[in-house]
Structure 1
């Protein structure tokens, strides 16, 4: 995977004036575009699309400052159909328009070319198990919420708080298969993990495929497949978010598995009354790499 990510960086450099063929590269590397984009955003700390934009504007800035071509020609050279579109992208990265930078020589914000390396220094063993699960169904109360990487998501908090206590009790009584207990389910997540992008959050439980689903509950059909299950314990949600990040930095690069499309699931096994600490299981859908 580290090699595939570095080949992706090379591909971006070779085609800064157009969209890189991520699907073609993923196929050549024996992986999927979905997994490649998810791993890139997790390890780089930004979506691939944002890295491409920053690198494109870094190179374009040199052309702007050099002043050997008009701004429209530079815009076209870097894949933009108009000076206005180029100007908006340029300002978003550098904080100033191309005309201002040409006049003043700055400000400029450079995005260095990325290079991925796998290190094992300071690694912490991860408590993981692999489970083959037949198809099942996730049922509960769903809402569309923005993706937030760090800290508590207030939109999810608000969604859960809006449910009456009897709804939680009802869900607990309904669940009849693994993952057990009340579940925090994230589905339809942007492959690049762009913060602020919308996802479907479901507060619910898992049912066997043959268990009837109440008509007044939302449901997500989950096909049969393999799941990597990571156990985490400590301050909540920090311990869970740290483990989630470590799946990209430590576990996937070191194991012959890759993410497949499907919901990610958090099962809360134990928690303090104020939810400041918790023991959880993070379920991620995987397939052989």
Structure 2
């Protein structure tokens, strides 16, 4: 898997070196990585710590900065060469990455930021075991309450905490009574609206039950198709252990197992300690084998 990812990174560099203004075809990168575009974006974001689109933007503007300081082309020529339709758009993007505009960088020799070319390497670990199982699950529905919230990578998500507090005990009990299949009890379901998983992007968050029963008319419903799920167990301080488990699933488990993610809700069942500082949890991620044709 890492070998194929590095070949995809080589293709990024080929495209940026050959004609940096042409958009890079992510579907082509996914084919080189021998996976789906959906899984490629998800895996890259987890491994690199940034969305693929952000990495490409930083690499493009790193190369543009070298041309700006070289002074062989006008600033407008550099802007057009790197895919910007105007000097103003180029200046905004340049400043967002480097902290100064291109004119200032050329005139004053201001310090610039460099995004290195990225490659992935195997790091041998194994002191922390991961507990998981792969299950086949028939179609079901998530039934409960839904909210649109921003993605937060570390610490408590304030928007989710406020949403859950606002549901009230009666609604919580009604949702719990609907649960008739795994994962049992009141669970959360996250439907990411951005494949890049960048912090601050929005997701649909469900506080719900997995059920095959007829849903009440006043509840939000998300139908979930039959499929394969990878289930990961997590125990420890909350929420950091849980968030580190999410990270390890993508950076350690997927690269060494014959599965890739598929679009669908990611489910979470959490049992908190009385003081709320520790939790036992299960993470459910929809997957398919890598020898299954990508959608």
Residue of structure 2 in register with 1:260 after alignment? 262
Aligned to 1:10: 10
Match of 1:213 in 2: 215
Where does residue 272 of structure 1 map in the other structure? Answer: 273
Which of 115, 120, 124 is the matching residue for 2:124? 120
Aligned to 1:243: 245
C-alpha separation between the residues in 2 aligned to 1:231 and 1:29?
28
Query: Counterpart of 2:293?
Result: none
Query: Could you give the per-residue CA deviations for residues 24-71 of structure 1, whole angstroms, max 9, x where no partner exists?
Result: 232344310000000001010000111011111111111111111110
String of CA shifts for 1:54-100, please: whole Å, max 9, x gaps.
11111111111111111000001111111111111100000000000
Superposition pairs of residues 140-289 of structure 1, within 5 angstroms: 140-208=144-212, 211-268=213-270, 270-289=271-290
2: CA distance, partners of 1:189 / 1:244: 18
- Aligned partner of 1:76 among 80, 83, 87: 80
RMSD across aligned C-alpha pairs, in angstroms? 1.1
* Cα distance in 2 between the residues matched to 1:184 and 1:237: 14
Q: Secondary structure at the match of 1:166?
A: helix
The partner residue of 1:109 within 96, 107, 113 is 113
- Give me the whole-angstrom Cα distance separating, in 2, the residues matched to 1:263 and 1:35: 14
1:13 to partner: Cα distance = 1.2
Alignment coverage as a number of residue pairs: 286
2:7–2:32 CA contact under 8 A, matched in 1: no
User: What aligned pairs does 1:51-70 form with structure 2 within 5 A after superposition?
Assistant: 51-70=55-74
Supply the distance in 2 between the matched residues of 1:95 and 1:231 (Cα, whole angstroms): 42
Q: TM-score, normalised by structure 2?
A: 0.94
Segments of structure 2 that go 5 or more residues without pairing to the other structure are 291-295
TM-score, normalised to structure 1's length? 0.96
Once residues 15 and 54 of structure 2 are traced to their aligned partners in structure 1, the CA distance between those partners, rounded to angstroms, is 15
- State whether structure 2 residue 95 is matched by structure 1 residue 91: yes
- Counterpart secondary structure, 1:275: coil
